[in-house]
Amino acid sequence: MTHPMMAALALAAFATTPVAASATPAVAGPDYTAPVAGRAMPAKVAGTTTAVGTPMVNGFRSYPPSCAANPLPDKPSGTTWSATVPTYAVTNVGSTTENLVVTVWRIACSSSGAAMPYGAAGAAHAMTLVRVDRADDTVSTVIPLRPRLLITQGSVEYGVIRVAQEPNTVVSEAAYAVQMPHSETYVLENYSLTGAVRHDFNAAFKLNVLGGTGTSVDINVPAYAPTAQTYPDAFAALPLDGYAAAQWYNPERNEGVIVQVAEGYDGDNPRRRQVVIDLLTKDPAGKPFWIVGSAAFDPVAGGVRGLDIPVSYLVTGNATADWGSIHIALTNCTRMDVAFTPKTGLPQDVPVINGTITYTRLLSANGMLCE
């Protein structure tokens, strides 16, 4: 029999011509094969939309939206691939070149095993980052121009990719051939344009780096195949954040769980978050029974990946009595493990739950899709 509460819970390919390598880079001006300034711009016309957008997940996403948020890391980690490229640079009196170190690495994301726009069924998912480092960010007499990043993958050679400095965006892009006074980190994205090539950054690819000097370098990046040694986060519980807020259920036990993750409730600690959990189960007589609780935590580097929460049950007059404690952890975006530790001496009409029970995600918050 399905409980009423459970019923409620159930409610245009791009291509460019590669730059030929040159033993002696030219410095007369940048050569990116298709400079931004050379793009023809259509005449300005009025649009037809007056309404603002509503929260929606980017349909052209290249990784799980729950994988990361701004800011991106400024230091590569784990397995990396890098190369040095001479880039066109400007000075107060003319032009020169500057060597930049370009590094590629990946950050492990949730991998629930479902087929996604950025990966086949059963594949592991990651976010692909690129770091472009100057030798000395304090040098201001010489300013390099941001190199152009292209991709070679499958039948696509020197294909265009969107390079963004902030994750989970739809149209933002770090334009190439503009001054780059400081080292920068980018996330590789697909263009949100109908007909644009959809690149799989979890698969093997070659990053083509064009410095505008007539010389290009290639960085070969193998397919993402995490192990416990190379990407330990791929096998760890997920950080607790707003993407954990959802409705969960266990059909065998006919139980539903509502998880909320609040922020900003503590004026003295604006970064502090609070997890609120409501479990609807049954008492020994088969009647609906609520077990509720909450606990606060402060975000830390790498995320808080599990939380102990004291829980209570409702009694007469909406008062509460201590039930014991639970520990919650998200194995991935679709699975939450809850370890129950009841207190001794609970009344006979109060359900006793021991051990770890797995709940499956039923619904997610609008705009907060966890994959």
Mean pLDDT estimate for the chain: 89
Looking at the fold, whether 275 and 291 belong to one and the same domain comes out as yes
> Residue 323's pLDDT is what?
98
276-288 pLDDT, tens digit per residue, is 999 999 999 999 9
Specify the pTM.
0.86
> Residue 41's pLDDT is what?
61
280-312 pLDDT, tens digit per residue, is 999 999 999 999 999 999 999 889 999 999 999
Domain count along the chain: 2
- Tokens linked to 354: 């021991």
- Whether the ω angle into residue 71 lies within 30 degrees of 0, i.e. cis, is yes
d(CA 17, CA 97): 22
Beta bridge mates, 101? 84, 133
192-247 pLDDT, tens digit per residue, is 988 889 999 999 999 999 999 988 999 999 999 999 999 999 999 999 999 999 99
Mean pLDDT of 74-103: 96
The last residue of a domain, from among 212, 235, 258: 235
Looking at the fold, whether 256 and 302 belong to one and the same domain comes out as yes
Residue 39 lies in a domain: no
d(CA 78, CA 106): 8
The last residue of a domain, from among 207, 235, 263: 235
Give the residue, 19 or 14, on which the prediction is more confident: 19
Looking at the fold, whether 87 and 146 belong to one and the same domain comes out as yes
- In order of 153, 160, 214, the CA distances from 18 in angstroms are 14, 12, 10
Looking at the fold, whether 188 and 264 belong to one and the same domain comes out as no
**Domain extent for 321:** 242-364
> Residue 38's pLDDT is what?
46
Looking at the fold, whether 217 and 134 belong to one and the same domain comes out as yes
> Residue 42's pLDDT is what?
67
Looking at the fold, whether 134 and 246 belong to one and the same domain comes out as no
Largest pairwise CA distance in the chain:
86
- In order of 55, 58, 150, 202, the CA distances from 170 in angstroms are 12, 6, 18, 19
Q: Are 358 and 48 in contact (CB under 8 A)?
A: no
| Residue 111 predicted with pLDDT over 70 | yes
